[in-house]
Amino acid sequence: MSSIAMPSSVSKQGFAFEHLILSHFQKSGQFRVQEWSSYLHGKSGAWYQCDGIVQDSSRRWLIEAKFFKDRPATVRDIKPQEREQAAKDTDCDGILYISLNGFDNDVLSQPLGKSIAIQFMTWADIQTEVLSNIGAYASVLLDEFEIKDSVATSLVTDSLIRFDSLRLIYLSPDFPEFVVFPDGVERWLRRMPKLALQREQTVQGEFRYQEITKSVCLVSERLSDLSIEEAWLIEDALSGYAARVYSAVKDTAQAMIDVNGGFVEDVQRIVHRLGWKTGIAGVRSSLDNLVLFGLVRKEQTDKRRVRYYLTPLGHAYVGCGTPDDDLFAEVLQGWSPYAHMRLAIHELGIPPNSLAVADYFKAQYNPYEPYAKCLFNKNKTEGLIKLYQLFG
């Protein structure tokens, strides 16, 4: 039976399903993908998380895809009024709703948009066609591959990946065509065809001196300022980043002096003592920032709770009793999303504002889509710009 590789995390399964639907539309020849799953700002300036935009012979369709393995999609899930606003603001004249498990009656009984075309589609409508075009295994981008002795081999390029083990787990009895892999494994199975491009870019090009880094690097011939490897590094780093005010992150690190090895509630107690009223989610987000920058590490307990510890770099950051801003600036400039944004501002003249930066990176990712995804949304980009305003 044909199998499609999916990630294990429920949130990432939704994004993977978007890729699958768009890839099928692209390969069908009836649609042309104009926007892969990404963050867009519309004519009004508002930002939208967009599952995709496709064009057929008559309309430009906004895609809204839902992946619930045990229930149909509801009105609360698809938010039709918000989607209609997003469609109009991004020059779409239709919305195509697609659901793995169909739609609840509250969706189907809704009055359809008067000024915009609405269509509903389920996985069952396209399942046979999708599976008939693949062999044993395919990624959600519908690139076929083989698995033998824990070695995955692309049937698109000459790329292969050796894993310690590849254990196959099926999503559910209702959907045996989906095979679930750990998130990191699925991500690289999806990227596998472009490993050949990474190898090519690594060995071909010219050496250039970069003033901002005071170093020489190999720059390959490509259609982007980023190599595919750099695009992946930035994507992976940004996937766990949510903007936080630096002073809040700084005081969270300060709190770690007293509760090193503590739980988030322990850190919150000290943060409150420092004058903040931050909730658990905010403290956890600040801790996640410190983890991303290598200043804190997480360790899961047997009861699936998480303890937080200062790393050696984190100890250096708070070693004098208060966090060292100069050390943080050095760490920040070595973090790939910030480093490449800073490079674009300093050397390429990109204006240091969120819209300009987001548009710049969207253009750099365009040649690599859908194998690399631009994650410069409103929150992340504004957070990076605020850090730039502080640290330059």
pLDDT tens digits for range 171-199: 999 999 999 999 999 999 999 999 999 99
CATH of domain 246-332: 1.10.10.10
**Percent of the chain's residues with pLDDT above 90:** 81
Lowest-confidence pick of 289-293, 298-302, 356-360: 298-302
Given the structure tokens 């905010």, which residue do they identify?
Answer: 282
What phi and psi, each to the nearest 5 degrees, are found at residue 227? -80, 165
Using the Cα atoms of residue 352, residue 354, residue 359 and residue 365 in order, give the sign of their dihedral.
Answer: positive
Q: Is residue 303 classed exposed, middle or buried when 0-12, 13-18 and 19+ CB atoms within 10 A define those classes?
A: exposed
Tokens found for residue 146 = 């083989």
pTM of the model: 0.90
The distance from CA 220 to its chain's CA centroid, rounded to whole angstroms, is 25
Given the structure tokens 């509760």, which residue do they identify?
Answer: 259
Q: How many Cα atoms are found within 13 Å in the side-chain-facing hemisphere of 147?
A: 20
What average pLDDT does this structure show over 254-266? 95
What average pLDDT does this structure show over 157-172? 92
CATH of domain 1-196: 3.40.1350.10
Using the predicted structure, report yes or no on whether residue 213 has a pLDDT greater than 80: no
Distance CA 157, CA 93 (A): 37
CATH 3.40.1350.10 domain position(s) in the chain = 1-196
The DSSP secondary-structure symbol of 165 reads: -
Using the predicted structure, report yes or no on whether residue 113 has a pLDDT greater than 70: no
Q: Is residue 160 classed exposed, middle or buried when 0-12, 13-18 and 19+ CB atoms within 10 A define those classes?
A: middle
CATH 1.10.10.10 domain position(s) in the chain = 246-332
Q: What's residue 266's pLDDT?
A: 95
